[in-house]
Amino acid sequence: MKRDLTILGSTGSIGRQTVEVALEQGISVRALTGGKNIDLMEQQVRLLRPSLVAMADPEAAAELAQRLFGSGVPVLSGEEGICKAAELDTETVLSAIVGAAGIRPTVTAIARGARIGLANKEVLVAAGSVVLPMVEQYGAELLPVDSEHSAIFQCLMAKGGGGAPRRILLTASGGPFFGKTREQLAAVTVEQALKHPSWRMGAKITVDSATLMNKGYEVIEAAWLFGLPIDRIEVLIHRQSIVHSMVEFEDGSVMAQLGRTDMKIPIQLALTYPQRASLPLSPLDFTQQPPHTVAAPDRETFGCLALCEQAFAVGGTAPAALNAAGETAVYAFLSGRLPFLAIEQLCREVLAAHAPIPSPSLEQILAVDAAVRAEAEERLSAFSF
């Protein structure tokens, strides 16, 4: 079997860990893409010697090309360059570009029948109605890298015969503000929102976890990946983050996948499936673990979860619109332009104003994404601290 890899988003949190897994497993990395992190990309290129590299930012690409002059590694730029990397004939493409920017490159890789390790949930949140038929049409393979969806996938691998599961039990840590009231969240700072209790992730997904928007996105992702209606996907708060998700079968039995809070586990499984390769992690010692607890999410305080379910129920371009508003709102919060609770408020307003296009094409989804971002930016001026 050919063991080579393209990493879309190699300088992000998932991308960096994918590089480590590839080195540990002897997987050849033939293409890398990044955004603006020139220093890290240069290090990765010199370490991995890929066939090509692409940077989303043209200025970053130009500087990287100067630094790599004489190396023989071509440096491409922009979305076109990143899609060229996705077109390269590798066995696996690890899709880890943050946000809707990862949709077109991932679709490009699907269209050549690649195995996709999907760490970008926005691909399915915004464009699942287009992406899933393409996977079937081109004979591609979609393997989840989110820890929760990888857990569900592993439970379904082990179930044996039978039909669809009765329920998916999607676990969530609850983020840094579990148990807080809306009044307590009114003055939340960026620093507080970025202190996730269990995982070390990029800033955008960490804030999404703090609002529970990320868990709402994961409900949508699970519905597309596993073919269940969202009323059969239940979110449970599990603060210890040891049970990564569970599946309930028709006979009432429940299967869970447990493990450390280490993203290398689902990343490596996506790269080596159907085999499980050795991973140098210390064993999980249950005698040293705190008691495992579960609780229902506080949907009144964290309304983004229900917003995602609402958008998926509406269908069409509604999830894409919500995702575009969510990305805009989170980056506005991170830059100090929007209060924490206004993330949900802005998303709610945009979703309420959106007239969804039923059965959209990929181009229509991407056009809605661009239009909603512009609309959300305009609405930002109405918010004040």
Domain with CATH 3.40.50.720 in the chain: 4-144
**Spatial contact of 28 and 4, defined as CB atoms under 8 Å apart:** yes
- pLDDT for residue 255 is more than 70: yes
pLDDT value at residue 367? 98
Decide if 91 contacts 114 (C-beta within 8 A). Answer: yes
Query: With pLDDT > 70 as the criterion, what percentage of the chain qualifies?
Result: 98
Q: Residue 164's pLDDT band (boundaries 50, 70, 90)?
A: confident
pLDDT at 163: 73
DSSP character string of 134-171: HHHHHT-EEEE-SHHHHHHHHHHHHS-SSSS-SEEEEE
For residue 131, pLDDT over 80 is answered with yes
- Helices 213-226 and 203-211 cross at an angle (nearest 10°) of 90
DSSP single-letter state for residue 319:
H
| Chain length of the chain | 385
pLDDT at 363: 98
Q: What is the pLDDT of residue 119?
A: 97
Q: Beta-strand (E) ranges in the chain?
A: 4-8, 28-34, 52-55, 75-77, 92-95, 115-118, 141-144, 167-172, 233-237, 243-248, 254-258
Q: Is the pLDDT of residue 72 over 80?
A: yes
DSSP H/E element including 123: helix 122-138
What is the pLDDT of the chain when averaged over all its residues?
95
In tens, the pLDDT along 266-296 reads 999 999 999 999 998 888 888 888 899 999 9
91 contact partners, CB below 8 Å, separation of at least 6: 1, 2, 3, 4, 5, 114, 115
* Range name among 153-162, 295-304, 329-338 with the lowest pLDDT average: 153-162
How much is the pLDDT for 385? 56
Lowest mean pLDDT among 54-68, 109-123, 152-166: 152-166
Q: Is the predicted pLDDT of residue 304 greater than 60, yes or no?
A: yes
What CATH architecture is 4-144?
Answer: 3-Layer(aba) Sandwich (3.40)
Once rounded to an integer, what is the mean pLDDT over residues 161-175? 89
Confidence grade of residue 246 (pLDDT, cut at 50, 70, 90): very high
**What are 6's two structure tokens?**
């393209």
pLDDT tens, residue by residue, 85-101: 999 999 999 999 999 99
pTM for the complete prediction? 0.95
pLDDT at 161 exceeding the cut of 80: no
- The residue-averaged pLDDT of 312-329 equals 98
Report the pLDDT value the prediction gives residue 280, as an integer from 0 to 100: 86
| Mean pLDDT, residues 196-210 | 89
pLDDT at 339 over 70: yes
Is residue 319 over pLDDT 70? yes
Query: For residue 384, what pLDDT band results from cuts at 50, 70 and 90?
Result: low
pLDDT of residue 317: 98
